[in-house]
Chain A
Amino acid sequence: MIAERDFIPAEDIIKASVSSKLLIPFFQSYVQAGFPSPADNYLERVCDLNDLCVTNAEATYFVRVTSDSMFDDRIEAGDVLVVDASRDPVEGKIVVASLNGDHTVKRIHYSRDGVVLLPANNKYKPISVKAGDDFRVLGVVTYVIHKPM
């Protein structure tokens, strides 16, 4: 496989999580009238949205929502989900899972009869994962990026 190596332009190897950093200066002390704090001479650090939303870059994927099935959980069509594949999909978490080849975002519930995917919109019905279904969890939704109207 080593021969293939040279055919990957290095500039094509970009990590989704760190490719575009939004740097916003962050000030240590609040603005005060009167004598300014000497600490303001030192910008402590800059805030990076990735630090907030992406805790595990190697296992983080972005997923776009295409339906309103999770509307009551404030996830709307067009939103971008930050999905962490390294977190365990424990009871009650909102997850992105693939069911028979299609990806879906739902709340996961472990019932006595097996896994149930719960929508958050009464227009949609819960989905019970049946024996023989190809079901796997991609990861747990850790943040929702929503653009207000």
Chain B
Amino acid sequence: MIALVDANNFYVSCERSFKPALEGRPVIVLSNNDGNVVARSPEAKAIGIKMGQPFFEVEELISEHNIAVFSSNYTLYGDMSARIMSTLGRFVEEVEVYSIDEAFLNLKGYESVYPDLVALAQQIRATIAQWQRIPVSIGIAPTKTLAKIANWYVKRQPAHNGVLLLSDPVDIEARLQEFDVKELWGIGHRYTSLLKRNGIKTAWQLRQCPDDWVRQHMTVNGLRLVYELRGTPCKMLELEPAPKKAICTATSFGHLVPDLKNMTEALTTYVARAAEKLRRQHSAAGVMTVFLHTNRYRRSPNGEPAKQYYNSRTVQLPHPSASTPELVGYAQAALTSIFQPGYLYQKVGVILTGLVPDSYIQKSFFQADPSEDLLKLTRIVDKLNRRYGRDKVRLAGQGFSPTWPMKQKYLSRCYTTRWSDILQAD
């Protein structure tokens, strides 16, 4: 059996964990740069605030409903997530951290230790409620896909008291018959409309489809999904995180930026950060894409949508590289080639792809090899920055008093990672 443990409104719950006064009050958390609503407490949902809604649309509801607003504090959420995942590891050996607020547990082999899986799940919930003060929902079923479905019901039906075990075939059938295919794990818009066109509306109907039809229309991944619905595990727990296949760094500017100088400073910082990530996972990038765009939501003073511009440039590097100065050189050249004056930019970013292990860099015949000295230097810079704080040693091109950092007007304290921010008690 597999359990899916999923934190309820995770970002909101993290904020409440250190501010119990927020209990019962509507709370929302905003995305990077305070742009959109990315987490809502049940009270905020009840007011009608939508997931992903731009913040300016809900701003006037704030005082009317006494809503608590937070910028996303990923430092806090990341640490609380790590604490929860580590706590789960106390109960079972195999924990797959699926996202910041979800984990799969492999319960196979624990039948004698935990004869009552619902009781085990309740014990996990109680532990996390006491240790991290975060409410979680737990779905248990023979496969990951069914565990997801069980969890979906737990979240929506309070009567389950946070835990649902789906193992009885009659029970599974009943649940699948009322489960809309569009809510299925891995089914996007395209497959939803394909299935609906063919009269398949529920997970149960999909489960009954002949294998050949599924394979033909939905590839082998669709077939895996159907097997999982039938109770045959096809998706195994992934316990070792795979190295990332692409690294993207881009954040929206705190306010719109019109000039190349500020854009270059921002991009240089993002490249430096992406290169740091590359080196940490011992990869080198072969391809770099630089992109920029203006603010989609912005309107001109006359109410018309403002002039928009989007562009990107992909550069094939002569050899895979993980050295900051080298990557910055290409990134700045790419940015200069796509930058257009006369626009107010909201975002610039870099995506590194074509990643290879850094021990396996293919040498180029006509080009000079990557400079070993530069790479050594960047590794030392990484070490210094790990010890003394981010960006303490940096390229001059990253600037010194950036005017472009993220807007984080409603940031809470980093209660668990900064001495200056810890809780206070009188």
Contact B99 A19 (CB under 8 A): no
Total cross-chain contacts (CB, 8 A): 122
Contact A101 B21 (CB under 8 A): yes
Contact A101 B19 (CB under 8 A): yes
Pick 6 A–B contacts, CB within 8 A, sort by A.
Answer: A1-B101, A14-B417, A15-B79, A16-B79, A66-B424, A102-B426
Contact string, B210-234, partner A, CB cutoff 8 A, digits 1/0? 0000000000000000000000000
Query: Measuring CB to CB, which residues of chain A are less than 8 angstroms from any residue of chain B?
Result: 1-2, 4-16, 19, 56-59, 61-67, 69, 80-81, 85-86, 96, 98, 100-105, 134, 136, 138
Given pairs A85-B133, A103-B425, 5 additional interface contacts (CB within 8 A): A11-B276, A62-B419, A66-B424, A66-B425, A104-B426
The 3 closest A-B pairs by CB, nearest first: A101-B21, A13-B78, A59-B131
Contact B424 A103 (CB under 8 A): yes
Separation of A104 and B423 alpha carbons in the complex (Å): 10
Separation of A15 and B426 alpha carbons in the complex (Å): 25
Q: Given contacts A85-B131, A86-B130, A105-B425, are A8 and B100 in contact (CB under 8 A)?
A: yes
Q: Given contacts A1-B100, A1-B101, A16-B417, are A64 and B422 in contact (CB under 8 A)?
A: yes
Contact A61 B416 (CB under 8 A): yes
Q: Which residues of B contact A4 (CB under 8 A)?
A: 38, 99-100
**Majority secondary structure, A binding face:** mixed
Q: Which residues of A contact B99 (CB under 8 A)?
A: 1-2, 4-5
Pick the residue among B100, B131, B273, B277 that contacts A58 (CB under 8 A).
Answer: B131
Contact B102 A1 (CB under 8 A): yes
Pick the residue among B23, B32, B423 that contacts A61 (CB under 8 A).
Answer: B423
Contact A63 B86 (CB under 8 A): no
| Distance to closest chain B CB from A30 (angstroms) | 34
Pick the residue among B77, B86, B131, B280 that contacts A10 (CB under 8 A).
Answer: B280
Q: Which residues of B contact A6 (CB under 8 A)?
A: 244, 248
Closest to B76 in A: A12
Closest to A101 in B: B21
Pick the residue among A7, A16, A69, A98 that contacts B416 (CB under 8 A).
Answer: A16
Q: Which residues of A contact B82 (CB under 8 A)?
A: 13, 15
Q: Given contacts A16-B416, A19-B417, A86-B131, are A8 and B77 in contact (CB under 8 A)?
A: yes
Separation of A136 and B23 alpha carbons in the complex (Å): 12
